[in-house]
Amino acid sequence: MHKSSKIIGFALFLVTVHLTAQNQLVFHMDFETMAATDNKIGYIMEAEGVHGKSVSLDGLTSYMELPSKTVKFPDNNFTIEAWLALQEYPWNWTGAFDNLENNKGVFFGVGAYGELGLFLGNGKSVVKAVADSITRLPHLKWNHIVATFEAKKGITLYVNGQKAGFTVYEGDILFNKNNSVWIGRGKTDTSPRDTERENSIKNKSKMIFDGLLDELKIYDKAFSQSEILDTYKRVKLANEQPLEWRRMPKGPEEMPNRFAAYHTRLNYDEKWERLWRVADDPDILVTFKDSPVRMIFWRGINYGPTWITENGIFTSNQSLEYFLEESGCNEHMSDKQCRYSHVRILEKNDARVVIHWRYALVSVLYDFPDYDKTTNWGDWADEYITIYPDQVAVRKQILHSHRFKQAFNDQTVALEGTYQFNESFVFSQPGESAYQNIDSVGVTMANLKGDIRSFKLHPLPEDEDKWEEENWVKEATIKKINSKSKNKSFNIFEKGSIAEPWVDQAFYTWNHWPVAQLPSDGRFTFVDDRPAHTALSNGSPIWKTEGIKHTAVSLYGMGQQSMEALIDLSKSWNESCTVKVSSEQVEFVKYDKYQRAHIFVNHADDIQDFSIRFNANSQQPFANGAFIIKNVGSSNFSISSDNPEVRIHKAIENKMSGDNLVVFVNHMSKKPFSIKISTNN
């Protein structure tokens, strides 16, 4: 959006009607004069125009409705023109000028691929003239669009002075002189073009321009090509490109160099932000010491945990999802307004950050499919994301569902189908294609045995057999997403889970999510002008069930580790090393995968100095990790190691049941080492 834009109040834009034969101008909107009236709908703004001011429409709410009496329609031949600067192509046909209804009237606008069109109604049917396929309006720049109708000949379209199409039509036009005119919106609500699923095709939405509109005129003459070219050349633009691509937010460029979590507001675009009914701190930003990597929980991604690389590539994981043909994808993506999805910081200190993400598995219409008619509850989820200073998070997923096990016939692995736990995405910013952010080798998979295989986005013929399931990595529980960055995101699952690649010759990108507000759960991307996501891999973890609560866990991180290092990380988490504590007062309880931590409990009122020995080895390495000592009282502690390479992060957790000492040990070892805990009382 242009930087000089400002909000307009309820306004009537200048509509001048010229009836003289001298200039043949019968309708003109120049958007200069404003007065209080009801013709403005939604959030309309003003910006620098071709001449003076233009109107800035948001693609979401804003358009104008003119009563028919304010519009002088030509009797037969005519020319209609306007200047447009498009931020995004519309989801489907959208009118700069539209009063076409019931096969009567005129539509002049742009389609989903940036193609110009003029549709004319004759009372019985509609004739549609569409620009040649090679003629598409450039984004962000001013475009002069023109259409002429000449009786007994047809319709001619022009873009920036050049002929863009001709359609023969020798019939009549039945102008809809008693119908209002919509400016910036199509009168036909519809679903986005290239919508994937039938449930979303049924959902009809307003089609509104996103960009700038200026100098909308109608003449009662069909101008020639030379006259139109001359009109175009006579306009001297002060700014040929008044718009810039939007960017999904990653937070301020300059941040304190520390491991920390912040409640904040991550702003996207002024027009989009104006819709949100939220306060100043709805989002969360996590930063890491001595690292450009960040993690965000943002409304535009419906709070799904999202890593951001050093060069600004966004990668994320899906929520829990329940799929039905009737309602489509029931998941966090469908909660466009975050009515149910929200996040909060439960814990933040030098040792770790814990985020609680709660959401409902709803459709894009906010329905709960197959809800429990006894309790009136549908499927809900709680996720606890425990983030450590080494950029590795533990993702504990809890699904509350009355029907979950029946969907999988009481299996213990969430096979692809009705329910889904994990799906890896790479996002594209507006103006970027997926190929700018994803390496040609899209995904690398591995198992605990050390088998590793990479999979290309578009395999060569000699590699196609790798896509046969029998050639995949057997028992793969590790996947790395190969973004075009030094730091790459990865997932590690428990033994017995299933991870599989999705990149293949049917390599798809969708832009119904993130950011988009239309009720759609599947829209293929063929134009790179909106935020979009590309799904590269699926993960099906094992789970544990207690009543209606079903729990799965995985590691979700970002870094520069090799696959061999990720295998060691998986071993350290899946097959943690044994420990030995030197004190009889402190008891080892268990290794907790949900916290990536060895758990101890103190039984003494006055804790004494002691040490913990981690018996790391090649099969049970220590690849960073935490330990927690419960019930430590009010003691102050110092932590040291017999290995000078060990880095320590510690904190005291204040719980209702007592204070806990949380220590994160940043160290990779396949040999035993010790940590000493000393009291400073």
Q: Evaluate if residue 598 carries a pLDDT over 50.
A: yes
Q: How confident is the model at residue 680 (pLDDT cuts 50, 70, 90)?
A: confident
Q: Evaluate if residue 15 carries a pLDDT over 60.
A: no
Region 195-220: mean pLDDT is 94
Rounded CA-CA distance 52/68 in Å is 26
Q: How many helices (H) and strands (E) does the chain have?
A: 5, 48
Region 561-572: mean pLDDT is 97
Region 92-109: mean pLDDT is 95
Window from 142-146, 554-558, 658-662 with minimum mean pLDDT: 658-662
Q: What is the pLDDT of residue 467?
A: 55
Region 390-397: mean pLDDT is 98
Q: How confident is the model at residue 203 (pLDDT cuts 50, 70, 90)?
A: very high
Q: Give the list of residues 6+ apart from residue 346 with CB closer than 8 angstroms, or none.
A: 354, 355, 356, 384
Rounded CA-CA distance 322/342 in Å is 19
Q: Could you write out the three-class secondary structure of 142-202? A: EEEEEEEEECCCEEEEEECCEEEEEEECCCCCCCCCCCCEEECECCCCECCCCECCHHHHC
- 3-class DSSP state for residue 465? helix
Rounded CA-CA distance 213/183 in Å is 9
Half-sphere exposure of 272 (CA within 13 A, CB side): 22
Task: Give tens-digit pLDDT for 420-437.
Answer: 899 999 999 999 999 999
Alpha-carbon distance values, 476 to 455, 480, 500, 572, 661 (Å): 13, 11, 7, 16, 35
Region 40-68: mean pLDDT is 92
Q: What is the pLDDT of residue 557?
A: 98
Alpha-carbon distance values, 549 to 147, 354, 380, 381, 534 (Å): 61, 21, 10, 9, 30
Q: Evaluate if residue 33 carries a pLDDT over 80.
A: no
Region 394-423: mean pLDDT is 74
Q: Evaluate if residue 466 carries a pLDDT over 80.
A: no
Region 376-391: mean pLDDT is 97
Q: How confident is the model at residue 462 (pLDDT cuts 50, 70, 90)?
A: low
Residue 219, strand partner residues: 25, 79
Q: What is the pLDDT of residue 326?
A: 83
Contact 77, 151 (CB under 8 A): yes
Contact 395, 555 (CB under 8 A): yes
Q: Could you write out the three-class secondary structure of 518-572? A: CCCCCEECCCCCCCEEEEEEEEECECEEECCEEEEEEEEEEECCCHHHHHHHHHH
The C-alpha torsion from 575 through 291 and 628 to 606, rounded to 10°, is 150
Region 29-33: mean pLDDT is 82
Rounded CA-CA distance 218/66 in Å is 15
Percent residues over pLDDT 90 in the chain: 76
Q: How confident is the model at residue 556 (pLDDT cuts 50, 70, 90)?
A: very high
Within 10 angstroms of residue 650's Cβ, the number of other Cβ atoms is: 17
Task: Give tens-digit pLDDT for 332-343.
Answer: 999 999 999 999
Window from 6-15, 235-244, 405-414 with minimum mean pLDDT: 6-15
Q: Give the list of residues 6+ apart from residue 644 with CB closer than 8 angstroms, or none.
A: none
Q: How confident is the model at residue 152 (pLDDT cuts 50, 70, 90)?
A: confident
Percent residues over pLDDT 70 in the chain: 91
Question: For strand 104-110 and strand 116-122, is the pairing parallel, antiparallel, or unpaired?
Answer: antiparallel
Task: Give tens-digit pLDDT for 170-200.
Answer: 888 888 888 899 999 999 999 999 999 899 9
Q: How confident is the model at residue 634 (pLDDT cuts 50, 70, 90)?
A: confident
Cα 136 to chain center, whole Å? 26
Question: For strand 622-630 and strand 597-602, is the pairing parallel, antiparallel, or unpaired?
Answer: parallel
Rounded CA-CA distance 626/651 in Å is 11
Q: Evaluate if residue 269 carries a pLDDT over 60.
A: yes
Q: Evaluate if residue 681 carries a pLDDT over 90.
A: no
- 3-class DSSP state for residue 271? helix
Higher pLDDT, 633 or 600: 600
Q: What is the pLDDT of residue 13?
A: 43
Q: What is the pLDDT of residue 507?
A: 67
Contact 363, 378 (CB under 8 A): no
Q: Evaluate if residue 392 carries a pLDDT over 60.
A: yes
Question: What backbone phi and psi angles, to 5 degrees, belong to 271?
Answer: -65, -45
Mean pLDDT for all residues in the chain: 90
Alpha-carbon distance values, 326 to 63, 193, 510, 589 (Å): 33, 20, 20, 47
Tokens at 552, concatenated: 């799965």
Region 599-608: mean pLDDT is 90
